[in-house]
Amino acid sequence: MKKALLITFLITICSQVNFAQGGVTVVTVKNNADAPIINKNIYGHFAEHLGRSIYGGFFVGDTSKIPNTKGVRNDIIKALKELKIPNLRWPGGCFADTYHWKDGIGPQPERPTIVNKWWGGTTEDNSFGTHDFLNMCELLGAEPYLSGNVGSGTVQELADWVQYTNFSGKSPMSDLRKKNGRKEPWKVKFWGIGNEAWGCGGNMTAEYYANEYRKYATFMSDWENTGGITRIASGSNSADYNWTEVLMKNIPINMLGGLGVHHYAVIDWGKKGDGVNFTEDGYFHTMQSALKMEELVTKHSAIMDKYDPEKKVAMIVDEWGAWYEVEQGTNPGFLYQQNTMRDAVLAGATLNIFNNHADRVRMANLAQCVNVLQAVILTDKAKMITTPTYHVMKLYSVHQDAKLLPISFQSPLYTFNGETLPAISASASKDKNGAVHISLVNVDAKNKNKIEIDVNDLGVKNFTGTIITSAKLQDYNSFDTPNKIVPTVFKGFENKKGKLEITIPPFSVVVLEGK
């Protein structure tokens, strides 16, 4: 086999070059002074008023026998702190554009109820509101990301919310906050101006939403946050590049802190497939949809570069993850699904894409945090477990705020029924202490892959490894077997004169650390 030319990871996604079975993928990792920092906010999460995400998930109330702090489960707080969760998006999602924040403040018994029209038609009592969420973020050490109501709200309502949460002086909203028991402002930095304005947020055209965004952004004033607040526009639905083009063209850069993108890994919206009982066909096509993220980020970035060559506007992938049919016997409006090795592979590969595009992607939010879609935590009354996706995100937390190390290679192919995908996904970084971390994913469902990494340029010699894998793709952590899939020591590599020779098993995620 002829020696393959080294190309950037961006191009490997589209590579059509096949490797002979038993071949070695040659990977080069380089120091580059001009490389960006991987923003820790790429590792953010999402908590919507949906199913058992908030009520019965995060929030059990302060009278619950489940150990809690002001109604928020202590075990969830502990698990998310260990995950180093950098930010949390709330209250939606579609729910955000029917949520009126003043309904969720003041004495709990006096708060009005609301019907969740989007997710199951359930009645909520608003016992979890602004104070509860922002105080929870303080417990987590996470930045709150508030999604404002544009669909059914008003400019005044959102402007008041900013003043309520952020203003320390005397004003109607800061006086109301103090009356409700919070003297100092929370100083919320990240603000979404609506959600999915092209769909559940109002079925708007891009041109109409751009004008609405400009109006709302104008009246969202904050004189106290260092650097001001970050206003985030409701971005495109997956490959709707026209949406990005219209917003970048029509919204002044100085009014736009971030532009969203939403993309879910879905086989078919009409028949999404089972979360556990799936075949290799279901696995392959879910990964095919997930790896489309590379193309989406690349093409949306190119459009943004036309109007913002200095990359002042962040790409915010504030909803991503796998979406399957709900678990049998559960409420179809609650979007509860299990989490297998397929999800671990999907998470690792997606995060590698975000890392490698750190110059533009500076925040992302996995959907969702607890009991919904690709959750990192599942609960059953007093029981709580962490999922394979949790373990991947915890393993990858070493990349948070580390300097990207450009990585180049040509991936072998994972072939199924005549279709192909890149089998190997990778990213690398160096942290402030000089430690190097290389994250590798083998997407191939059947074949191990051999990888050779030249690390001579990195100034580190001693490597250790951790792996997430299991006997079957369909394996998952249950409440009976909560530790079926956990990180373990990886020994499938050797360091020979500055070259790591690695054999990575099928459908596995590996992180190597060099010091």
Tell me the pLDDT tens digit for each residue of 429-457.
Answer: 999 999 999 999 999 999 999 999 998 88
Query: Residue 418 CA to chain centroid, in angstroms?
Result: 31
> What amino acid positions are annotated as catalytic residues?
196, 319
Nearest to 39 by CA among 444, 354, 463: 354
pLDDT of 33:
87
Q: How many other CB atoms are there within 10 angstroms of residue 331's CB atom?
A: 15
CA dist 167 → 154, 183, 185 (Å)? 20, 10, 6
Q: How many other CB atoms are there within 10 angstroms of residue 416's CB atom?
A: 18
pLDDT (tens digit per residue) in 479-500: 999 999 999 999 999 998 889 9
pLDDT of 43:
98
Mean pLDDT within 110-119? 94
- CATH annotation of 40-404: 3.20.20.80
Q: What is the dihedral of CA 43, 47, 51, 54, to 10 degrees?
A: 130
Q: How many other CB atoms are there within 10 angstroms of residue 31's CB atom?
A: 13
pLDDT at 15 over 80: no
Helix residue ranges per DSSP H, 155-195: 155-166, 172-179
pLDDT band at 393 (very low <50, low <70, confident <90, very high): very high
pLDDT at 505 over 50: yes
Annotated domain spans of the chain: 40-404
**Cis before 252 (ω within 30):** no
Mean pLDDT within 400-423? 96
Asked if 193 and 231 touch (Cβ cutoff 8 Å), the reply is: yes
pLDDT band at 352 (very low <50, low <70, confident <90, very high): very high
pLDDT (tens digit per residue) in 460-470: 989 999 999 99
pLDDT (tens digit per residue) in 90-106: 999 999 999 999 999 99
Q: How many other CB atoms are there within 10 angstroms of residue 400's CB atom?
A: 17
Per-residue DSSP letter, 326:
P
φ/ψ of residue 424, rounded to 5: -115, 135
φ/ψ of residue 231, rounded to 5: -90, 130
pLDDT of 482:
97
pLDDT at 319 over 80: yes
pLDDT of 70:
95
Q: Round to whole Å and give the CA distance between 13 and 18.
A: 13
